[in-house]
Amino acid sequence: MYVWRQLAAMSVAVIVLIGLGCARLPYTTTVVHEDQRVAVMLQREIKPAGYAHPVQISALQVTAVLRGFSLREQQRLPLRWFAEETPPNKIFREDELQVLAPQLADALQRVGPEERVYFDLFAPGMNPRYRHDVTAGWVAVHDQLLHLTIDYFHVQQPVNKSDPYDYNYPTPWTPPKTYLLYFEPGRFYVTDPKTDRRGLDFREFLKAAPSP
Supply the pLDDT for residue 180: 93
**Residue 141: which of 199, 186, 184 has the closest Cα?**
199
- Residues 183-202 have a mean pLDDT of 93
109 domain-assigned: yes
- pLDDT digits 0-9 by tens, 46-91: 999 999 999 999 999 999 999 999 999 876 554 444 445 678 999 9
- Residues 118-140 have a mean pLDDT of 95
DSSP 80-143: HHHHTTSPPEES--HHHHHHHHHHHHHHHHH--TTEEEEEEEEEE-SSTTTEEEEEEEEEEEET
Number of helices (H), then strands (E), in the chain: 5, 12
75 domain-assigned: yes
**Segments forming the whole domain that contains residue 46:** 26-208
4 domain-assigned: no
6 domain-assigned: no
- pLDDT digits 0-9 by tens, 137-183: 999 999 999 999 999 999 999 988 765 655 666 778 899 999 999 99
Sign of the torsion angle spanned by Cα atoms 75, 78, 79, 81: positive
Q: Amino acid identity, residue 81? A: W
Domain count, the chain: 1
**Torsion, CA 92, CA 117, CA 157, CA 36, rounded to 10:** -80
Residue 182 phi/psi, 5-degree rounding, is -135, 160
The reported pTM is: 0.82
Cα 115 from Cα 138, distance rounded (Å): 10
**Residue 146: which of 72, 206, 95 has the closest Cα?**
206
8 domain-assigned: no
12 domain-assigned: no
32 domain-assigned: yes
Residue 18 phi/psi, 5-degree rounding, is -65, -40
57 domain-assigned: yes
Residue 132 phi/psi, 5-degree rounding, is -95, 150
Higher pLDDT, 105 or 2: 105
